[in-house]
Structure 1
Amino acid sequence: MTIHRFPSCSIALAILLGTMGATASSFLMGQPTIVTTSPASSSLVTTAPNVRDVHAGRALRNALNVPLRGGSQHRDLKPRVRASPAAADGEPSTSSNEQTIATATFNLIKGCMGAGVLSLPAGVAAMGDVPKAMIPACAIFVTLGTISAYTFHLIGRIVQVANSESSGSSSEAKVTSLGQLWDKEIGPSTSWLITLACFLVCYGTCLAYSIVLGDTFRSLAESAGLKGMLASREANVAVISLFGVYPLCTLKSLAALKPVSIIGNIGLLTTALVMTIRALPGGAYSAASSATNYLATLPLTLHPSFGVIGLRKLSSTLVLSSMAATAFLVHMAGPEFYQTLEKRSIKRFGVLSTLGFSSVLALSAYMMCVGFLTFGGSCKGMILNNYSTLDPGATLCRFLMGIALLGSYAFIGNVMKSSFNQLIYKGKEITDEIQKKTTQALVGTITALALVLNDAGFVVSFTGALLGSALIYIIPPLLFLKSTKRRIDNGSLASTSTLKIERFWNRFLIVLGVFLALAGGSMTVVNSFFPHLL
């Protein structure tokens, strides 16, 4: 194994800044092709939540806007937001529930940035163990990030159309979720697909959390000097599930978990800082460094490795492509982001989409590059697993992550249970006994899988390939095509050459999404379980 060091931060920043120039965000800022009346600003009122909230972007954002899979907006635990009849009058809103562009951008970043970002270095390692592997990696990341921003913005445009078409209707007709958009454009008979997608996203996220929690507390146990069974991964997964995850998932009120948001944000920033310091030339994980004995505590499979394999086949890029889908997955909350945007308009929503996704792209790509340039081809599916248990900086990061993920599990688990009950019981009354059995079944199966699977990167990549591709590249374009065709047929939308080009582009995105789902999922399995075939 060849161990070599590079000026990590300098290379990472140079490549990142170079590839960021390729981001084509101008189309997000322009006027949309959709021809409608101008959107009206609306005041917002709340109504009692119901089982349909499983479909809502609010429901998923409550789950995804949590630390290390996004920070939690705990005021979002209030009942869902609906537009009031004032929207029909075009009166400006003074509702405190509305978000400025700055606030919405911050929430969008929190919704995307999570534990998945710590798997990205492994996505680059799947492509090769030389620094130039970051060039195609960043190119892929920028391209898919730009497409993700476009489809997120596309959702806002479709919601704006739905708002204008229901301007004379009651507030109940206003679209506040992706499920409602599906009902309107596709039909309610298949809306269970959105519920299923929500359930599977949450289930995959919880599984990744359980794997990471097992690794995290195993490392913390080793840092504390524990040995044997107490420091085994399996024992930590079981104990955390029994005494941490399960009790938290049975909570009826999540108000006590508010500090988790702050801990998660601090944890992610601390991790980025520690990774940057450790990546500096001559740093603690450099073969030339004699300041620490960190490398001596690690098996050879975790040592920095460069130049042994070189660049792999082009098909290996599908692993990172799948992970990228998870990194930008906030589209289920798209309708709510649009509805709660202060002085909402397509142009302002374009600004939000551009700022939010550009920030996520820059931060995620930076951490991806820094992690890869520290460990190269040996990057694990959870990059913190590469750092020594004697490393105080890494230990601090693990501690903050462990606390944040436990709290986050409760939010994700709550939506997971709700969507599961909606699929199985279809609107019937959910008793406490049903909730208890559902919690036991879901936590039990997730724990069993976490004991068998030990690679969080595989779960992140596989979830991104199947569900991320559907929610980012397939569902928004499908809704757009249905919406524009319906309005072309009824004469409310002119079939211009620009619209024809955009409709063709969206058909291409659907094909791309299907390809990334099938090929990306297959390549993820091969990379994780049959790497000798690559």
Structure 2
Amino acid sequence: MTRAICRSSTDESEAQEMTQEVKLSSVTQSTVNLVKNIVGAGMLSLPHGVAAVSASPQAVAPSLILTFLAAVFSAYGFVLIAQACEATGESTYTKVWAKSVSESTKLLPAVACLAKAAIGCIAFSMILGDCISLMLAPLNLPAVIASRDAVILLMTTVVLYPLCSMKSFAPLAKFSLLGVLSNFYICAFVVLRCLDHSYRKGGSLVAAAPAAPQFAAPTGAWHTVMSPGLSVLLSILATAFLAHYNAPLFLEQLAPDPKTGKKDKRFVVVSVLGFCTAGLIFSLVMVGGFLTFGSSCMGLILNNYAAIDSLALLARAAIVLSLVTAYPLVFLSLRKQVLEILGSKGADFANQRPRAMTISLLAGVTAVAFKLRNLGVVAALAGASLGTFLVYVAPALMVMGAQRRGLVAQPEGPTGQLARAVQIFLVPLGLGLGVIGCIQCLK
């Protein structure tokens, strides 16, 4: 659902920049880092998105097409942000907006990025509570320590607060490989359980599953395509592919072409490879989870697997370890966004009372995580309200604004006019998906 919702959406570079000089990355290194930045907890809600479309296996084909289109448009939005950065000479999402669109409305992307970071932390807390409570279920421990809310509270006070209070998060960067391996294991696990039929009728684990798999008879391709649930899937995809707040950082760290000294073509290659690779991983988890449980897919697909499933236990342990090490980095993003909006007064408070600042933010995140139960709804609502703006609308507006202000040349020729048409199309597309997605999620 953040790397979301969210996903492990903030990579180790944010921690390293606190103590080290930025090192330029090759195309391969940048692509790997981008995949790590995109692929995360957000993919765990995708089967729920397909289930919102239809309970029929026929929903798989249109869902795969939507995933491909979402990857393409997300990559294009990522490239547009880089173009806006180069046109304005700025290196943050908010500053690029202020210089290319409007200084008076710069709070709009700032608030969107703040809300995205907050929802990322909330989603992480929800996943930790769900997964650890299921891991503890076979032990028959008292609810006071093994219930979902108790786990969230204990993890926040005993584990997350000390980690988020560290003066430097650089030591956590070494655990980035752990997150990558955990995501690949979860992907392989979901596909394996789909293929071995353990949760099908007569399967060895179906009786122990929280909800029996349910599928509907085929209803026709047109009925599937016209399902209002498509907006839910698109919203979750917007959250899953959301890494655009880091586009300026990736551009800054990408090594230029040694022949031309420019980065634009290299950045396009990184964006296409990164988002397409992430789309492939998302497709495997999405299809594998849905074809295993059908309309019974929960907002967090790992909740569908039996507590006695040993491979599911390892999958939950993997995501817990990954999220625990990634949480402080996502929290750092939240803290930065809060301080950017509060200005000098907020910075003074954070410097004078850093622990109070950390406790206040964690308390707010934890309180919301207590109340919210369905990660799929959170991911879909976040994607509809924030993801569509940050991925589709804002990048197009920033590039067109830079062109209008003369910061970059107007598009010329057939290719330039096509690019202009796509940019114009992205604005109503993002706004429309956002409105429809929010309405559908709140029903």
| TM-score, length of structure 1 as denominator length | 0.75
| Residues 501 and 265 (structure 1), Cα distance of their counterparts in 2 relative to 1, 3 Å cut | closer
Match of 2:276? 358
- State how far apart, in whole Å, the 2-side matches of 1:64 and 1:366 are: 17
Does residue 1:243 correspond to 2:169, yes or no?
A: no
| Residues 345 and 373 (structure 1), Cα distance of their counterparts in 2 relative to 1, 3 Å cut | same
Note the residue ranges of structure 1 that are not aligned, 5 or more in a row: 1-62, 82-94, 163-173, 527-534
Match of 1:321? 234
User: 1:338 aligned to 247, 251, 270, which one?
Assistant: 251
User: 1:392 aligned to 299, 310, 324, which one?
Assistant: 310
Match of 2:41? 115
Does residue 1:254 correspond to 2:169, yes or no?
A: yes
1:40-88 deviation line (CA, Å, top 9, x unaligned): xxxxxxxxxxxxxxxxxxxxxxx959x951473257522499xxxxxxx
CA contact (8 A) 1:71 1:264 kept: no
Give matches, 1:20-169, under 5 Å. 69-70=8-9, 72-74=11-13, 76-79=15-18, 97-162=23-88
Percent sequence identity is 29
Secondary structure (helix, strand or coil) at the match of 1:521 reads helix
Cα deviation for residue 121 of structure 1 reads 0.3
CA contact (8 A) 1:124 1:320 kept: yes
| Residues 221 and 347 (structure 1), Cα distance of their counterparts in 2 relative to 1, 3 Å cut | same
Match of 1:514? 431
Matched to 1:288, the amino acid is G
User: 2:375 aligned to 453, 456, 473, which one?
Assistant: 456
Cα deviation for residue 350 of structure 1 reads 1.7
- State how far apart, in whole Å, the 2-side matches of 1:216 and 1:318 are: 27
| Residues 178 and 393 (structure 1), Cα distance of their counterparts in 2 relative to 1, 3 Å cut | same
- State how far apart, in whole Å, the 2-side matches of 1:284 and 1:495 are: 57
- State how far apart, in whole Å, the 2-side matches of 1:211 and 1:308 are: 33
RCO comparison, higher one (Cα < 8 Å, 6+): 2
Cα deviation for residue 214 of structure 1 reads 0.7
- State how far apart, in whole Å, the 1-side matches of 2:349 and 2:358 are: 12
**Higher radius of gyration, 1 or 2:** 1
| Residues 387 and 185 (structure 1), Cα distance of their counterparts in 2 relative to 1, 3 Å cut | same
CA contact (8 A) 2:9 2:243 kept: no
Secondary structure (helix, strand or coil) at the match of 2:275 reads helix
Cα deviation for residue 191 of structure 1 reads 2.5
| Residues 75 and 136 (structure 1), Cα distance of their counterparts in 2 relative to 1, 3 Å cut | closer
Cα deviation for residue 106 of structure 1 reads 0.6
Match of 1:5? none
Matched to 1:115, the amino acid is A
CA contact (8 A) 1:121 1:383 kept: yes
Cα deviation for residue 418 of structure 1 reads 2.2
- State how far apart, in whole Å, the 2-side matches of 1:232 and 1:129 are: 31
| Residues 455 and 512 (structure 1), Cα distance of their counterparts in 2 relative to 1, 3 Å cut | same
Cα deviation for residue 245 of structure 1 reads 2.2
Secondary structure (helix, strand or coil) at the match of 2:341 reads helix
Moved more, 436-445 or 384-393: 436-445
1:171-201 deviation line (CA, Å, top 9, x unaligned): xxx4322233223212433323332222111
Match of 2:201? 287
- State how far apart, in whole Å, the 2-side matches of 1:145 and 1:133 are: 18
Alignment root-mean-square deviation, CA? 2.6
- State how far apart, in whole Å, the 1-side matches of 2:249 and 2:136 are: 41
| Residues 520 and 443 (structure 1), Cα distance of their counterparts in 2 relative to 1, 3 Å cut | same
Match of 2:420? 503
Give matches, 1:269-280, under 5 Å. 269-280=184-195
| Residues 110 and 303 (structure 1), Cα distance of their counterparts in 2 relative to 1, 3 Å cut | same
Cα deviation for residue 230 of structure 1 reads 3.2
Does residue 1:420 correspond to 2:338, yes or no?
A: yes
- State how far apart, in whole Å, the 2-side matches of 1:111 and 1:524 are: 26
Match of 1:177? 92
- State how far apart, in whole Å, the 2-side matches of 1:227 and 1:136 are: 45
CA contact (8 A) 1:151 1:477 kept: yes
CA contact (8 A) 1:185 1:483 kept: yes
CA contact (8 A) 1:68 1:404 kept: no
- State how far apart, in whole Å, the 1-side matches of 2:14 and 2:120 are: 22
Cα deviation for residue 308 of structure 1 reads 6.7
User: 1:297 aligned to 208, 212, 221, which one?
Assistant: 208
Cα deviation for residue 466 of structure 1 reads 1.1
Secondary structure (helix, strand or coil) at the match of 1:126 reads helix
Aligned residues: 431
Matched to 2:280, the amino acid is A
- State how far apart, in whole Å, the 1-side matches of 2:276 and 2:31 are: 10
Secondary structure (helix, strand or coil) at the match of 2:104 reads helix
CA contact (8 A) 1:70 1:109 kept: no
1:108-161 deviation line (CA, Å, top 9, x unaligned): 111110101011000001111111111121122111221111111122233333
